[in-house]
Structure 1
Amino acid sequence: MSTASPSSPAGNIGGDDGSPLTTSAIVAQAVSGSHVVNIDGYSRTKGLGNGKSVDSEKFAAGGHSWCIEYYPDGYESDDDDWISIYLCCSDRTDANEVKAEFKISLLDQDRQPVPSYSRPSSQIHTFSSKDPSWGFAHFIKRTVLEESLYLRDDAFSIRCDLTVSKEIFTEQVPPSVVVPPSDMHRHLGNMLLDGDAADVTFNVGAETFAAHRCVLAARSSVFKVELLGAMKEKTATLVRIDDMEPMVFRALLHFIYTDSLPAADEGSGAAAMAQYLLVAADRYNLERLKLICEGKLCDHVCRGNVATTMALAEQHGCAALKKACFRFLTSPGNLKAVVASDGFEHLRSSCPSVLEELVAKLAP
């Protein structure tokens, strides 16, 4: 909300005496955050007892500590066929009430909220010592969850999106010029698509890609050596790229020119593409792209790919990804299923040191 001098007509750039028009704002601050809880071994949580919960690890949002309360057998006696989910503010006091609104969502296999099971709070709720928790007694029926695709490998996930209200204050708003965000990436992306002034062509599989030496060299130290150094590609106008699929090289070029990944569906092929791109990013020393792919793969670890993902992490120095794989395998059910898979044999033959490290971590 802004205010102006009452004597200044709307639209004037200053007061009647020529003084500059000043502006202030009344600001109602809010801080948002999200937290994901994975329930691994769902069938073993049933039977805990009506009204009994398991709390998630605490997480911080808006300067306060929170946790998710998971009731596998319902919150009250009337809820015994339901899974109940509640949000609890764990550091509130009588003198420290916390106001917040939130939404709790069941996640699908692509880690996206399921619209029919996304429960928003109807209004801003006040958390206090007398009322520390609030949530949904009828979040989802157990039979519905068990018959759905959202329960996979005896596990499912929920996400809490939380907005915490902060203090209301006023402040002076200094005059400023609005500068639009940079659109350099758009211009460079168009130059790649149009091929204007391209001076090198790459042959990848059955496809060719026109590009610009100076752009590639500026973004990748490997391309700089190959295209501007003493190597034979310096004077070549056609460069062949082996051991890479055309769609992977196309995505690699898109990132080099725009610093972003091309729009793609987050389906079952997302993890495979992230694996290929991670290898390409490591090959051309594109550290930011490598970290983006590593983050995506950390979110897609499952029984079907954990062995190959762990081998990939070891071969390309991805410590966070390897840690995510180890964490996934700490579940006995996951470990047993993976040991019996073909991917485990590949891991055994390609990266025996990783198995030694895994055994050491799982040892009591």
Structure 2
Amino acid sequence: MTTSSPAAADGAPWRSSSAIVAGTVSSYHVLKVVGYSRTKDVANGKAIKSRPFLVGGCKWHVEYQPNGDKEKSIDFISLYLALDDNVEEPVKATAKFSLLDQDGKMVPSYSYTTILNNFSENGTWGFHKFIKREVLEKSEHLKDDSFTVRFDVTVMKDIHTQGTPIIVVPPSDMHRHFGDLLLSKEGADVKFRIRKKTFSAHRSVLAARSAVFKKMLLGPMKEGTTTSVIPIDDMEAEVFGDLLTFMYTDELPDMKEQEESEMVQHLLVAADRYNLERLKLICEDKLCKHIDTGSAATILALAEQHNCHGLKEACFEFLSASTALKAVMENDGFEYLTKN
């Protein structure tokens, strides 16, 4: 009989609370019975002990009884976990006994877990009818006259109360406040007209987010933007609205899956125009997921025009497959790509 064991392995922003903390220490021990047929000579009620092992600072061993621990279990194998140490403090633990198959995996029908037991009082705890010998001998789990059982032991450590104040810091909600500011238009001091739609915004916010807007709204050019509405003629209103949302909240609004690719392409152009590098990278990442035979040429041209190196590499990787390249060459977008 051989054994082995590995080394042992927890609203309002201000509140006061207490907690009861129960610690545990867990490890496992593997018992391999070699020469099973010879162990059957051991009499009923007699045990063979494994070598000791440590869990939770205590020494333990396994008791293997090949003919059962009592007369009523004489046809069964009995297994018990025993505490080797004499300790004054309570040692409370649970254990899972699991027969292992030939691949070292637990056999669910022969995996049992004990109740929480005070081993310093009771000494041993286990299962007097772990498995019937006849069942084991006919199973594939007994091979070369050997079988293996794993013991997962969890020892309860000291339970103590923590009464110190606990400070819970909530996640940042700055984006929500700025989003509300955009929606409410409170304190807005600049307006943009895109097609037939007007957007109100705050110069300081836009300037803080974009060097291009800073130059436009706070730099030498600002005289022409103080009273009149600033027109933007080469952008769709929906695109500019999503651009403003990102600048205030650092997030993009939800988009319909079938519309995402086209909208993100427009946003990438806007991000490059207003020097919003993070938005540009977000758009690149999203477009990488939309590269197919119908869009590869268009997205590649867009990536080249706006210096999107990661997106360009993704397009080249897609086109490196001969079947994909052939399909793209038959697409109208490829003709546009070669001309430009």
Match of 1:323 among 283, 304, 313: 313
Paired with 1:182 and 1:304, the residues of 2 have a C-alpha distance of 41
TM-score by length of 2: 0.53
SS at match of 1:290: helix
Match of 1:345 among 326, 335, 340: 335
- Unpaired segments ≥5 residues, structure 1: 3-11, 15-20, 29-127, 133-167, 351-364
Paired with 1:247 and 1:264, the residues of 2 have a C-alpha distance of 11
After superposition, the Cα gap between the structure-2 partners of 1:129 and 1:189, relative to the gap in structure 1 and judged at 3 Å, is farther
Alignment of 1:198-217 (within 5 A): 198-217=188-207
Shift of 1:184: 1.3
After superposition, the Cα gap between the structure-2 partners of 1:335 and 1:280, relative to the gap in structure 1 and judged at 3 Å, is same
Match of 2:240 among 246, 249, 255: 249
Structure having the higher Rg? 2
After superposition, the Cα gap between the structure-2 partners of 1:176 and 1:237, relative to the gap in structure 1 and judged at 3 Å, is farther
Shift of 1:13: 6.0
Shift of 1:333: 1.4
Alignment of 1:1-364 (within 5 A): 23=21, 130=103, 176-231=166-221, 232-265=223-256, 267-350=257-340
Shift of 1:345: 1.1
State whether residues 193 and 229 of structure 2, in contact with CA within 8 Å, keep that contact through their aligned partners in structure 1.
yes
Instruction: Look up the equivalent residue of 2:236 and give its one-letter code.
Output: E
Q: Which has the higher contact order (CA 8 A, sep 6+)?
A: 2
State whether residues 199 and 237 of structure 1, in contact with CA within 8 Å, keep that contact through their aligned partners in structure 2.
no
TM-score by length of 1: 0.50
Paired with 2:167 and 2:249, the residues of 1 have a C-alpha distance of 26
Shift of 1:229: 0.3
After superposition, the Cα gap between the structure-2 partners of 1:235 and 1:27, relative to the gap in structure 1 and judged at 3 Å, is farther
Per the alignment, residue 94 of structure 1 pairs with none
- Unpaired segments ≥5 residues, structure 2: 1-9, 11-15, 27-100, 106-153
State whether residues 17 and 166 of structure 2, in contact with CA within 8 Å, keep that contact through their aligned partners in structure 1.
no
Paired with 2:210 and 2:173, the residues of 1 have a C-alpha distance of 21
Paired with 2:17 and 2:194, the residues of 1 have a C-alpha distance of 59
Shift of 1:329: 0.7
Paired with 1:225 and 1:181, the residues of 2 have a C-alpha distance of 33
Shift of 1:341: 1.4
Report runs of 4+ in structure 1 exceeding 2 Å deviation.
21-28, 128-132, 172-176, 232-237
Paired with 2:267 and 2:102, the residues of 1 have a C-alpha distance of 50
Deviations 1:35-58 (A, max 9, x none): xxxxxxxxxxxxxxxxxxxxxxxx
Shift of 1:268: 1.9
State whether residues 226 and 233 of structure 1, in contact with CA within 8 Å, keep that contact through their aligned partners in structure 2.
no
Q: How many residues align?
A: 199
After superposition, the Cα gap between the structure-2 partners of 1:187 and 1:129, relative to the gap in structure 1 and judged at 3 Å, is farther
Paired with 1:320 and 1:129, the residues of 2 have a C-alpha distance of 48
State whether residues 190 and 225 of structure 2, in contact with CA within 8 Å, keep that contact through their aligned partners in structure 1.
no
Paired with 1:25 and 1:276, the residues of 2 have a C-alpha distance of 55
